[in-house]
Amino acid sequence: MKVNPYLNFDGKAEEAFLFYKSIFGGEFIGHMKMSDAPDMNDLPKEEMNRVMHISLPLGKDTILMGSDILPSAGHSLNIGNNIYVSIHPESREEADRIFAGLSKGGDIEMPMADQFWGDYFGSLVDRFGIRWMINHNDDF
């Protein structure tokens, strides 16, 4: 079984995923706008360019996915603390690089530091309201 985090945004999916791509690298394996889908001609003009689906591989086993909501369809976005994306880099240096990139313009909850359970860990909320945990363990 694979678990892939799926993130929803209110018109900021493309901006957020370009930001994540600048940190993690790689290429999008899916990037569709609402206007690319059949039967979407009745959407308000301002929603046509919203992201229907976008996917960015984060290593060989994980894909970060997301989309924008459609207010005209009654969708609303409630940013909360109910989801974190947990990243497990292979080195402390990579953990620091990812943490520094994601925390730009965001809020650091716990700076990267050695923890009592033996891991190198930090958590933050990025500038898009997405919560991230960066966790490195030499034995993992």
Average pLDDT score over the chain: 92
Alpha-carbon distance 130 to 51, whole Å?
A: 17
Query: What confidence tier does 140 reach under pLDDT thresholds 50, 70, 90?
Result: low
- Where are the chain's structural domains? 6-71, 84-136
Instruction: Give me the half-sphere count of Cα atoms (radius 13 Å) on the Cβ side of residue 81.
Output: 4
What digits encode the pLDDT tens for the residues 74-93?
A: 998 887 777 889 899 999 99
Strand order in the sheet with 120-125: 84-87, 131-136, 120-125, 107-114
CATH number of the domain located at residue range(s) 84-136 in this protein: 3.10.180.10
51: amino acid identity, one letter: V
- Matching CATH topology for 6-71 and 84-136? no
The per-residue pLDDT for range 8-57, each reduced to its tens digit, is: 999 999 999 999 999 999 999 989 999 998 888 889 999 999 999 999 99
Domain 6-71 in CATH 3.30.70.3150: no
